[in-house]
Amino acid sequence: MYQLKQMSKQVEGLEIADKIIRDIIENGLGNLKVQINDYKCGTQELGNYYIPNIQKLMVELLENLEEELEKVSKLIVKTQSLVSNAKICFIECIENNIITQEANDFLEEVGYEWTAQELLNLGLVRENSQLVQLNLWVDEVKNKKIEVAYWLDLNSGSINFSCNEILDKQLINDSEFDVIMPTPLIYYNSREFAKITWLTYSTRKFTLEDIITIKSFATDIKTGVEKAKLYFISSLSKDIFPVLISYETIGIVDDRYILQDKNKDQIYLNKVDSVYFEMKDIYENQIMFGVIDKNFVLNVISLVTNSHILRVSEKFILDN
């Protein structure tokens, strides 16, 4: 069970990470060769402070210091924001001798591994959920195979994801085409677009009525982009935001695919296999599921037609 004394240790680690980031900013990216070994040693030391995700971000930052300035700058902003806000939140919790829900969310982001029982105790559950899998794939990260799936709740319209390490012997097609009903659905945090899990579940057949329900949750392009902008404001946000977009047509502008809705608003598409858009039943007036990134490009994952869910992307990572 997580305790405040662990949070005190995490604050120490966050202060180390914060100092490294401030040094990088103050010294400038052009003067890092002398200090780089010290930064690497400090980053390695973060392994002692229960903040593995912060250590991962710092390693990524140091590995990319000689890459293009824009990429490094984005990494610095992302890491500094998370480190700074998590540290402030944790210090307040320690001073008040209480762990808030905001702190629980930050704990997940810095890498604390919650058990299902801890999440149940925190009340991060939803009863009577009915989940439809929008896509699933297996990603390989540092010799670990991670099964990632996107799920839409037919009762609420919320879209979340599951993410689980699997063994080689488990590498089978685990795509779920039925509606699953967890008892209960467990959330890893209280935010929109959360990681989810469950202990047990039952299933029922996926029907055409479910297609109608899915389509009822779709928005136009302007609304989807506005929701993404609000989501990205938070220091706890991921680099992508899931949306269901109702579209009128798919076209090409400047040699790039675009999606256009009934309001004639448009958004660029990424990760597109043109073979799918040659199929007449999905070319017009359907629903697209994808994730909007911070460049406000829609990365296509699945298409919802009048009869089924067509999975057009075999892989899309959670953070770009």
At 204-215, the pLDDT tens digits run 999 999 999 999
pLDDT of the residue at 123 = 92
The answer as to whether 62 is a domain residue is: yes
The answer as to whether 38 is a domain residue is: yes
pLDDT of the residue at 170 = 52
Nearest to 149 by CA among 136, 158, 139: 136
pLDDT band at 88 (very low <50, low <70, confident <90, very high): very high
The answer as to whether 319 is a domain residue is: no
The answer as to whether 71 is a domain residue is: yes
| One domain for residues 170 and 223 | no
Burial class (CB in 10 A: 0-12, 13-18, 19+), 212: exposed
Mean pLDDT of the chain: 88
Three-state SS at 116:
helix
Percent of the chain at pLDDT exceeding 70 = 87
Summarised one tens digit per residue, pLDDT across range 293-318 is: 999 999 999 999 888 898 887 655 55
| One domain for residues 178 and 230 | no
Asked if the model's pLDDT at residue 197 lies above 90, the reply is yes
Domain with 174 in it: what CATH number? 2.40.50
Summarised one tens digit per residue, pLDDT across range 222-263 is: 999 999 999 999 889 999 999 999 999 988 888 888 999 999
The answer as to whether 316 is a domain residue is: no
Q: pLDDT higher for 27 or 182?
A: 182
Asked if the model's pLDDT at residue 127 lies above 60, the reply is yes
Nearest 10 degrees: Cα torsion 125, 127, 132, 135: 10
- Predicted model pTM: 0.88
| One domain for residues 100 and 130 | no
Split into its structural domains, the chain has a count of: 3
| One domain for residues 198 and 272 | no
The boundaries of the domain holding residue 178 are: 121-206
| One domain for residues 156 and 227 | no
If you average pLDDT over residues 86-98, what whole number do you get?
96
| One domain for residues 301 and 225 | yes
The answer as to whether 320 is a domain residue is: no
Answer with the one of 113, 144, 161 that is the final residue of a domain: 113
The answer as to whether 317 is a domain residue is: no
What is the rounded distance in angstroms from the CA atom of residue 293 to the CA atom of residue 225? 10
If you average pLDDT over residues 194-212, what whole number do you get?
96
The answer as to whether 318 is a domain residue is: no
| One domain for residues 304 and 229 | yes
pLDDT band at 320 (very low <50, low <70, confident <90, very high): very low
| Identity of residue 32 | L
| One domain for residues 170 and 237 | no
